[in-house]
Amino acid sequence: MVKLLVAKDYEELSELCTKEFVRCLQTQATPKLGLATGSTPIGTYERLVELNRRGEIDFSSTTTVNLDEYMDLPPSNEQSYHYFMHHHLFDHINIPRENIHIPEVDRKTADEDIKAYDKILDKVGRRHIQLLGVGVNGHIAFNEPNRRQALRTNITELTEETIKSNSRFFDSIDEVPTKAISMGIGDIMNSDQIILIANGENKHWAIKTLLESDFVDFQYNPATILKLHPNLLIICDEACYNG
């Protein structure tokens, strides 16, 4: 079942998303959260940091798994998703460091990196919430449009469109990595609730085609797979919804 909330703007979107996390953190003894990067979740993370600072939510028994990481960027690089997550969330909340999981790309071979993350995902198991942003082409995590979609952790080649879109965070487009390690679709779906957030006109196509499609087509829009999830909440703003 798809539930849709259309917020008037990014602030309201972030409020609505934060509420879902707060409910989970306040009702689960050991919350398990799937977290996302990109600019969209920043407003939610800011609010979670503030609520934690005020003592209204507690992360001491929370475990997190992240969706993805660029290949060939060390965690100290400001564009890495390791850096992003620590900078926007983990450095400011009371989560035990050992409960934080982000795909690592530092082993001898990519295959070892993949196996290591699958092992972590098996150990953490089903999450209470999986937060997702969406690419302009419908990619979720870094699972790009493709007829074949990996169920588990995989190395993906980023499309031209994604490289171009993500280049806004880098000094030049040449610095954007062309490969990433990403959680697979099967593990993304292994969650009690999926919350997909999207704001701005440039996400209109991805959300509109997801909402309107009565088919699943990974090549056309990989996010259409999410319609198979029994508890999908889409929160978008009016600019995204109306286009």
Please state the closest distance from residue 84 (CB atom) to ligand GLP, in A: 10
Q: Which of residues 184-243 bind ligand GLP (CB under 6 A)?
A: none
Considering only residues 38, 43, 103, 138, which one is a binding residue for ligand GLP as defined by CB under 6 A? 38
36 binds ligand GLP (CB under 6 A): yes
183 binds ligand GLP (CB under 6 A): no
87 is catalytic: no
Q: Evaluate whether 194 touches 226 at the Cβ level (below 8 Å).
A: yes
Considering only residues 7, 24, 73, 141, which one is a binding residue for ligand GLP as defined by CB under 6 A? 141
44 binds ligand GLP (CB under 6 A): no
Distances (CA, A) of 186 to 162, 204, 240: 22, 25, 27
The piece of 25-33, 56-64, 130-138, 223-231 that touches ligand GLP (CB under 6 A) is 130-138
Considering only residues 37, 62, 63, 156, which one is a binding residue for ligand GLP as defined by CB under 6 A? 37
Query: What sign for the dihedral angle of Cα 167, 171, 174, 180?
Result: negative
- Token pair 């440039």 is at which residue? 202
Distances (CA, A) of 202 to 3, 137, 156, 162, 198: 21, 10, 23, 13, 9
Q: Which of residues 154-173 bind ligand GLP (CB under 6 A)?
A: 162, 166
Write the DSSP assignment of 48-96 as a string of letters. Answer: HHHHHHTTSS--TT-EEEE-EEETT--TTSTTSHHHHHHHHTGGGS---
Interface ranges with ligand GLP (CB under 6 A): 36-40, 67-68, 133-135, 141-142, 162, 166
